[in-house]
Homo-oligomer: A and B are copies of this chain.
Amino acid sequence: MKPILMQFDTDALPSSFDRVVAVDAGVEQLFSYGNVNGENVTGLVHGAIFTRGPADLKHTAIFIGGSNVLEGERLLNKVTKTFFGPMRVSVMMDSNGCNTTAAAAVAIAKKHMKLEGASAIVLGATGPVGQRVSELLALEKAEVTLVSRTLDRAESTRDAIRARFPDARINRSSASTPEETEAACSGHQLVFAAGAAGICFLTEGSLARIEGLKLAVDLNAVPPVGIADISPMDKATDKSGVICYGALGVGGLKMKVHKQAIRSLFANNDQVLETQPIYELALQVAGL
């Protein structure tokens, strides 16, 4: 029985990026759908679960993608609610690469230093990738400071993380200028920049000035980057004593994690690969 991956994309044209990765992960039969939403997804899921016998459902899987992470989360929720009893297939959600990117970034940090008890600060913490990086740092028992333009905006992210990890040590900090951001970073060992394209959090020379900083990861590949001292190609590059990673430097591991996640969907029919399971895969792929 041939493995089938159904790609449910919330954009009009299903991501060609996700399609290439699926093929390179060994998928032969890829059913790509664009404009998938909460209404039309039910019939697609029925087609996934009602066509093969329960013992063969592990040969069918679903990938949820698209540029809008919130829509992807809603779609994942709808898809899993359509399943019942043994009538389910494994599903992965990685809209805009949010889960594989966050997982790769935190796994890379763990490769360089002990995260438990470490002091980490996340810039752009309220965005989809920033939230996920923060959640994974909390999972690793780091002390996480969420930075956003106003304290209010960081609250829902903090609450969401605390709902999963009641003991998580989460701080909030507001910063609306590079100067304020640099001040907020002082004393932290790790900084992650996960802002939207076009937002520069830390200007040139910041890394050398932030006290105690050991590792900096900038997940924005499009200029201007989020941390001016980091270039997208940086990969464990030492800059003023700080280990630096740019978006493409993280990208190699991210791609491996994405492919491994696709492959593992077909191991059985009841997986839901979102942030944490994908992080577990990232640790395996990174040899941790």
Interface residues of A (CB under 8 A from B): 1-2, 4, 6, 12-13, 15-21, 23-24, 29-33, 35-36, 40, 43-44, 46-48, 50-52, 60, 67, 255
A48 to B13, CA, bound (A): 14
A60 to B24, CA, bound (A): 11
Number of copies: 3
A-B contacts, 11 of them at CB < 8 A, read A4-B19, A12-B40, A13-B33, A15-B43, A16-B33, A16-B46, A16-B47, A17-B43, A17-B47, A21-B51, A43-B67
Q: In the complex, how many angstroms separate the beta carbon of A5 from the nearest chain B beta carbon?
A: 11
Docked-complex contact A48 and B20, CB < 8 angstroms: yes
Docked-complex contact A60 and B13, CB < 8 angstroms: no
Among B1, B6, B30, B35, the residue within 8 A (CB) of A24 is B1
Q: In the complex, how many angstroms separate the beta carbon of A75 from the nearest chain B beta carbon?
A: 13
Known: A24-B51, A48-B20, A52-B24. A13 touches B36 (CB 8 A): yes
Docked-complex contact A2 and B23, CB < 8 angstroms: yes
Residue of B nearest to A248 (CB): B50
Residue of B nearest to A252 (CB): B53
Known: A2-B23, A24-B1. A13 touches B44 (CB 8 A): yes
Docked-complex contact B19 and A31, CB < 8 angstroms: yes
A23 to B59, CA, bound (A): 12
Known: A16-B33, A16-B47, A20-B47. 10 other contacts (CB 8 A): A2-B23, A2-B24, A13-B40, A13-B44, A16-B31, A16-B46, A16-B48, A17-B43, A17-B51, A20-B48
Contacts of A67 in B (CB 8 A): 43
Docked-complex contact A52 and B17, CB < 8 angstroms: no
Contacts of A50 in B (CB 8 A): 17
A17 to B12, CA, bound (A): 21
Docked-complex contact B47 and A19, CB < 8 angstroms: yes
Known: A24-B52, A29-B23. A17 touches B46 (CB 8 A): yes
A35 to B34, CA, bound (A): 12
Q: In the complex, how many angstroms separate the beta carbon of A41 from the nearest chain B beta carbon?
A: 9
